[in-house]
C-alpha cells in the first residue's frame, strides 16, 4: 500500500513558499537579432513593480521583487513605499558591471586598478541601495573572461577577483549577504572568470559566512546534473540563492519548468532533502526574459511551475524511498520517485488557491482582469524599459 503523502499533508508547506521576481523580466528583451517592443511595457521601476505586484496578487507566491542597478535607479524610499502599497517588497539587488566601455576586458578582474576601483564602487553603490531598501542580498554576476587562448592571465585575474570581492564583502552590513553567480560561458567564449560552482564556492568560502553561491539553472553545460550541485552546496552550507529559468541550448532564460519539468522536480527534491525548502537562507528567484510571450503571463506561469513541481516533490514517499535505497531495491526506489513526479497536482492546487482567496486559474484571471488592456492604454509615451535600461 502506498504511503505517499496526500495533498492535505503538504498544503501548509506550500503556503510558506515564496518566489522572488526579477524587475527586468517585465521590460523588453530579445536576442542579439531583435528586441520586440510590446504595448504596456513598463517605462520605469515603479511600473515594473506594479506588474510584479499583479503576479503576486493572482498567485500569492511572489511577494518580493529583485532590482538591477543601474537599470532601476530611482528614489528608493518612494519605490519601497510604492511596493508596500501594492503588497510586495524590494529584494535582491543585482549589480551590473557589464555595460560600460571600461569593462571590455573585465571589471573586478581588470588589469587596470582604476577600472577595478570603478567596478568595486559600482558594488558599493548597490550596497547603498540595499541600505535604503532593506534588501538582504547583493547578487554578483560577472561577464568577465577572455575569447582566445593566451589573451589573459587567468591566474592573475582570479587573484584580483579575490581582492575586489574582499573589498565589497567588507562593506556589507551585519544582516547583508553577497551571492556570487557562476556561468560557464558568454559573453566570453574561451575562459570565464567564474564559470562553475567550484570557482564560485572557492571565492566565497575565502570571504566568510556572508558570502554564498548563486545557482542559475541556465548556466550549465548540457547534461550537467544540476541537482547534484544543489545537494553539494546545501551540504556545504553555501547555497545562497537560485536563479530559476530553463534552457534548451545556452543561457536561454525561458520560463522555468518549460524545457524540462523533470529536471525542476529533481532539483526541488534535493532542495527539500537538503533542508533548503522554505529556508530563510535561500532566495528562490526567477531570472528570465520574456521575448515573445506576454511578460506578466510568463511570470505567472513560471511561479506556478515552481509551485507545481514543489508539490510533486513534497509528495515523494521519503520513508519508503530511504528503505528502498538502503536495501538496494533500485526499481522500487525509482518507482517511488517517478510516482510522485507523475502525480497531477493541478486540480488540488486550483482548489487550494480558491481556499486561500486566490483565483483557481491565475492566467485566466489575469486575462479577464483587463490589466493588460489598461496598461497598454495608460503607458503611452516615454521610453519602454528594456535590456540595458
The reply on whether position 251 binds ligand PSV by CB under 6 A is yes
Query: Site for ligand PSV (CB under 6 A): which residue of 72, 137, 181, 308?
Result: 181
Residue nearer to ligand PSV on the CB measure, 82 or 183: 183
Minimum CB separation of residue 98 from Mn ion in Å reads: 12
Minimum CB separation of residue 116 from Mn ion in Å reads: 23
User: Distances in Å between the alpha carbon of 125 and those of 168, 260, 336, 345?
Assistant: 10, 37, 49, 44
Minimum CB separation of residue 237 from ligand PSV in Å reads: 22
Minimum CB separation of residue 209 from ligand PSV in Å reads: 22
Query: Site for ligand PSV (CB under 6 A): which residue of 47, 72, 216, 348?
Result: 216
Minimum CB separation of residue 146 from ligand PSV in Å reads: 17
Burial tier of 343 (Cβ tally within 10 Å: 0-12, 13-18, 19+) = middle
* Total site size for Mn ion, rule CB under 5 A: 3
CA distance 358 to 59: 7
The reply on whether position 253 binds Mn ion by CB under 5 A is no
User: Within positions 131 to 150, which residues make up the interface with ligand PSV, using CB under 6 A?
Assistant: 141
Listed residue (218, 184, 189, 177) closest to 200, CA to CA: 184
Give the helix/strand (H/E) hosting 121. helix 113-133
Residue nearer to Mn ion on the CB measure, 288 or 384: 288
Stretch that binds Mn ion, among 117-125, 202-210, 240-248, 314-322 (CB under 5 A): 240-248
Q: Are 179 and 212 in contact (CB under 8 A)?
A: yes
Minimum CB separation of residue 197 from ligand PSV in Å reads: 14
Stretch that binds Mn ion, among 2-10, 194-202, 237-245, 267-275 (CB under 5 A): 237-245
Residue nearer to Mn ion on the CB measure, 103 or 371: 103
322: how many CB neighbours lie within 10 A of its CB? 12
User: Within positions 80 to 119, which residues make up the interface with ligand PSV, using CB under 6 A?
Assistant: 94
Which DSSP category does 104 fall into?
A: G
Burial tier of 260 (Cβ tally within 10 Å: 0-12, 13-18, 19+) = middle
Q: Are 200 and 238 in contact (CB under 8 A)?
A: no
Query: Site for Mn ion (CB under 5 A): which residue of 20, 144, 193, 216?
Result: 216
- Strand pairing report for 211-216 and 177-181: parallel
Q: Which three cell numbers stand for residue 316?
A: 515523494
Inter-axis angle of helices 197-205 and 226-235, to 10 degrees? 20
CA distance 310 to 304: 10
The reply on whether position 183 binds ligand PSV by CB under 6 A is yes
The reply on whether position 287 binds ligand PSV by CB under 6 A is yes
Minimum CB separation of residue 385 from Mn ion in Å reads: 18
Query: Site for Mn ion (CB under 5 A): which residue of 47, 51, 57, 243?
Result: 243
Residue nearer to ligand PSV on the CB measure, 251 or 260: 251
Q: Residues in the site for Mn ion, rule: CB under 5 A? A: 216, 243, 287
Amino acid at each position: 500500500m502506498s504511503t505517499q503523502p496526500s495533498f492535505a499533508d503538504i498544503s501548509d508547506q506550500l503556503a510558506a513558499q515564496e518566489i522572488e521576481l526579477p524587475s527586468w523580466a517585465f521590460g523588453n528583451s530579445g536576442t542579439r537579432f531583435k528586441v520586440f517592443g510590446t504595448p504596456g511595457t513598463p517605462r520605469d521601476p515603479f511600473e515594473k513593480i506594479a506588474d510584479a505586484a499583479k503576479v503576486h496578487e493572482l498567485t500569492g507566491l511572489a511577494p518580493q521583487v529583485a532590482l538591477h542597478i543601474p537599470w532601476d535607479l530611482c528614489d528608493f524610499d518612494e519605490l519601497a513605499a510604492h511596493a508596500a502599497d501594492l503588497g510586495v517588497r524590494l529584494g535582491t539587488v543585482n549589480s551590473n558591471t557589464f555595460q560600460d566601455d571600461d569593462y571590455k576586458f573585465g571589471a573586478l578582474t581588470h588589469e587596470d586598478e582604476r577600472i577595478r576601483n570603478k567596478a568595486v564602487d559600482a558594488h558599493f553603490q548597490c550596497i547603498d541601495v540595499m541600505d535604503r531598501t532593506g534588501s538582504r542580498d547583493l547578487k554578483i554576476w560577472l561577464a568577465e573572461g577572455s575569447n582566445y587562448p593566451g589573451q589573459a592571465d587567468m591566474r592573475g585575474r582570479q587573484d584580483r577577483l579575490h581582492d575586489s570581492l574582499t573589498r565589497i564583502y567588507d562593506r556589507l552590513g551585519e544582516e547583508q549577504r553577497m551571492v556570487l553567480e557562476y556561468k560557464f560561458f558568454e559573453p566570453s567564449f574561451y575562459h570565464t572568470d567564474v564559470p562553475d560552482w567550484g570557482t564560485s564556492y572557492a571565492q566565497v568560502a575565502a570571504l566568510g559566512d556572508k558570502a554564498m553561491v548563486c545557482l542559475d539553472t541556465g548556466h550549465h553545460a548540457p547534461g550537467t546534473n544540476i541537482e547534484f550541485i544543489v545537494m553539494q552546496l546545501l551540504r556545504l552550507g553555501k547555497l545562497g540563492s537560485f536563479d530559476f529559468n530553463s534552457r534548451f541550448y545556452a543561457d536561454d532564460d525561458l520560463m522555468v519548468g518549460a524545457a524540462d519539468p523533470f529536471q525542476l522536480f529533481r532539483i526541488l527534491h534535493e532542495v527539500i532533502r537538503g533542508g533548503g525548502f522554505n529556508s530563510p537562507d535561500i532566495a528562490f528567484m526567477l531570472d528570465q526574459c520574456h521575448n515573445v510571450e506576454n511578460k506578466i503571463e510568463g511570470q505567472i506561469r513560471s511561479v506556478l511551475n515552481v509551485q507545481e513541481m514543489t508539490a510533486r516533490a513534497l509528495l515523494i514517499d521519503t520513508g519508503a524511498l530511504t528503505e528502498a535505497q538502503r536495501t538496494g531495491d533500485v526499481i522500487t526506489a525509482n518507482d517511488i520517485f517517478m510516482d510522485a513526479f507523475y502525480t497531477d497536482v493541478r486540480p488540488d492546487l486550483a482548489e487550494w488557491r480558491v481556499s486561500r482567496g486566490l483565483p483557481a486559474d491565475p492566467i485566466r484571471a489575469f486575462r479577464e482582469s483587463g490589466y493588460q488592456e489598461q496598461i497598454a492604454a495608460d503607458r503611452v509615451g516615454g521610453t519602454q524599459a528594456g535590456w540595458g535600461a
